[in-house]
Amino acid sequence: MNESASIIRQAAEAKPAGNSMLRHARYVVSENPVTGFSFAMFMLIALCALLGPFVVPYDPLASGPSTLAPPSFAHWFGTDQTGRDIFSRVVVATRLDFVIAIASVALVFAMGGFAGIAAGFFGGWTDRIVGRISDTIMAFPLFVLAMGIVAALGNTVTNIVIATAIINFPLYVRVARAEANVRRDAGFVQAARLSGNGDFRILLMHILPNIMPIMMVQISLTMGYAILNAAGLSFIGLGVKPPTPEWGIMVAEGAGNIISGEWWIALFPGAALMLAVFCFNLLGDGLRDLVDPQRRT
Amino acid sequence: MLATLAKRLVTVIPTLIGVVIVTFLLTRVLPGDPAVYFAGPAATPQSIADIRKSLGLDRPLPEQFARYVGDLAHGNLGNSLSTGRPVVTEIESRLPASAELTLFGLILSLAIALPLGILAAVKQGSWIDHTCRVVATAGVSLPVFFTGLLLVYIFYFRLGWAPAPIGRLDAFTSAPAQITGFFTIDSLLTGNLEAFRGALGQLLLPAVTLAVFSLAPIARMTRASMLAVLASDFVRTARASGLDGRTIIFTYAFRNAMLPVVTTLGMVFSFLLGANVLVEKVFAWPGIGSYAVEALLQSDFAPVQGFVLAMAILYVALNLLIDILYGVIDPRVRLEG
């Protein structure tokens, strides 16, 4: 029964077959070298997150003899107030920032994606309730709401993840709802229903896989925003506690030194943050070109 | 027009109710005992119990909610723990500083983003177009606090052009007499040129920081909607009728292209109000954002709650304003409404 449904699904979706998808991917990458570059950057960031603590030259938490030393051969990014090596700290921090971003995006994908699909598929009351919840979230300036949530839930990293997920909720709902709504009466859904699948089964096994490509684009587009948001929260002193290496808090630690000219303390973590966000934004644009050529700009 | 306005005003009500419920929930229902927050770090079990009683936290939730709404209706947001002053007066006195900064940042950002977007669309594929793309992508990628620090380093430490990032005025200039609360406008109104120069100097860097962050969505949307309008039939007709390029772009295309741009302004304001908090922290700007941050770090909850509520109401009001503006620009919306 499922076989026939999946054949119909393939026909209804009329997606390009694997081979041409690959060709299209190659075309996008070669047409837009920026996308290729951002894939490479992404690999580098992932590598830092995975291996960072094992390859850095210094202990990121250990103070050294030379304090506030400018970048040199021994300390590529210089040292901070207590003589800690900034290069090691920037590299090690990648993991924490990366984990916060991935965890919050995964959480919002689960909550917002599911709520959105259900809203688009069932309509009616489900749609109204989900819509009302996301409208209420959207009624707040998002960063301000995140501050409020972290303040209310308590000042921890977990709560930064939750707050970041909540403020992204409406974005995921909107995309998932629109995509599910278009497909609710599609041929493959009717076929699945006729072959005796229940609503939830159709939702998870038939609609979700079909909107995955678009959701993936959404994920990489919001990754950058999630990192920015988490770093902003830790910049104002929420969540991550010093001396834990994290980009936002490292910039905050170096902020006081900017006016006395020690630029390297804030610049390098800030630049790392910027590059990571830049990479995710470019990657998101590239993925969108791949999945949805019509929206290419 | 008035009827439309009234109708739109009515739609604000459920949003406001939602906002009030959320700010209430943030303090009362979530894990973490608000009495402990309000009691502060040096609290004993006895003082916590006292505070719980005096705050009415031992009552059932609906009753607490009714009391909360009643307090709000009387403009009572509670008192700050660290200063002892009512949150409302504190927010009122700090709001002009934040508003001046945000507004100035927005004007600056519009002044850069609109021409950039229009030029990028008119000269599609030229260097201006590429600049627009790079600026837009870089703008959203730059953490706003990082941009601020970078600007401080370059323009204060290196070049010495900008004053030290220590708030709205340096220590030697006295504030102008309060009329609007905007230092730049007040000093002009009272003819105090020295204060004007001082205030503008202090305002410039934080405003530029905000502008860099918020111009990306405006520039992007302007470009995209100008491109769509320029390819439309009525522009072709205008061109065929021999109108000159200037008239076509500004009178015909621009006015129509503005509609989606005005819609994105809602999102831009959400960005701006959030970024404002970070910029205020970097530049020691005495606005409501830095007030909330200070309170947050001391677990002083009433100011934070008041701040979140004030920001949300402000944001709802701004969105309402945008909708009205939309009706002014596009008469069709007015008729249908």
Instruction: Determine whether the interchain pair A277/B143 forms a contact, defined as Cβ–Cβ distance below 8 Å.
Output: yes
Average pLDDT, chain B: 81
Average pLDDT over residues A60-88: 75
Query: Which has the minimum average pLDDT: B17-21, B243-247, B285-289?
Result: B243-247
pLDDT of B17 above 70: yes
Confidence (pLDDT) at A165:
92
Query: Which has the minimum average pLDDT: A34-38, B92-96, B234-238?
Result: A34-38
Task: Assign residue A196 a region (left: φ > 0; alpha: ψ between -120 and 50; beta: otherwise).
Answer: left
Confidence (pLDDT) at B34:
60
Instruction: Determine whether the interchain pair A144/B311 forms a contact, defined as Cβ–Cβ distance below 8 Å.
Output: yes
Nearest to A235 among B21, B145, B305 (CB): B145
Q: Which residue in A has a C-alpha nearest to residue B22's C-alpha? A: A136
Condensed to tens digits (0 to 9), the pLDDT of residues B185-219 reads 777 777 777 777 777 878 888 999 899 888 888 88
Q: Which residue in A has a C-alpha nearest to residue B139's C-alpha? A: A278
Instruction: Determine whether the interchain pair B305/A148 forms a contact, defined as Cβ–Cβ distance below 8 Å.
Output: yes
Please report, rounded to a whole number, the percentage of residues in chain A having pLDDT higher than 70: 86
Confidence (pLDDT) at B267:
83
Instruction: Determine whether the interchain pair A297/B145 forms a contact, defined as Cβ–Cβ distance below 8 Å.
Output: no
Instruction: Determine whether the interchain pair B32/A154 forms a contact, defined as Cβ–Cβ distance below 8 Å.
Output: yes
Task: Provide the number of CB pairs (under 8 Å) joining chain A to chain B.
Answer: 147
Instruction: Determine whether the interchain pair A139/B312 forms a contact, defined as Cβ–Cβ distance below 8 Å.
Output: yes
The answer to whether the beta carbons of residues A49 and A94 sit under 8 Å apart is: yes
Residues in chain A: 297
Q: Is B146 on the interface with A (CB under 8 A)?
A: yes
Where does the pLDDT of residue A166 fall: very low under 50, low under 70, confident under 90, or very high at 90 and above? very high
Element (H, E) at B45: helix B45-54
Instruction: For residue B300, report the phi and psi dihedrals to the nearest 5 degrees.
Output: -95, 100
- Report H helices in chain A: 2-13, 18-31, 33-55, 86-108, 114-122, 124-138, 142-153, 157-183, 187-194, 199-201, 208-235, 247-258, 264-291
> What gap in Å lies between CA B290 and CA A144, rounded to an integer?
12
pTM of the model: 0.82
Chain B segment 85-144 residues within 8 A of A by beta carbon are: 137-138, 140-144
Confidence (pLDDT) at A14:
46
Where does the pLDDT of residue A39 fall: very low under 50, low under 70, confident under 90, or very high at 90 and above? confident
Distance from CA of B195 to the nearest CA of A (A): 23
Q: Is B38 on the interface with A (CB under 8 A)?
A: no
The answer to whether the beta carbons of residues B217 and B274 sit under 8 Å apart is: no
- For the ranges A24-38, A235-249, B29-43, the maximum mean pLDDT occurs at A235-249
Q: Between residues B87 and B191, which one has the greater pLDDT?
A: B87
Q: Which of A156, A143, A50, A28 is nearest to A95 (CA)?
A: A50
Instruction: For residue A79, report the phi and psi dihedrals to the nearest 5 degrees.
Output: -130, 165
Q: Between residues A111 and A10, which one has the greater pLDDT?
A: A111
DSSP output for B154-207 = IIIIIS--SPPSSSSS-TTSPPPPPSSS-HHHHHHHTT-HHHHHHHHHHHHHHH
B144 contacts on A by Cβ (under 8 Å): 232
Q: Which residue in A has a C-alpha nearest to residue B299's C-alpha? A: A151
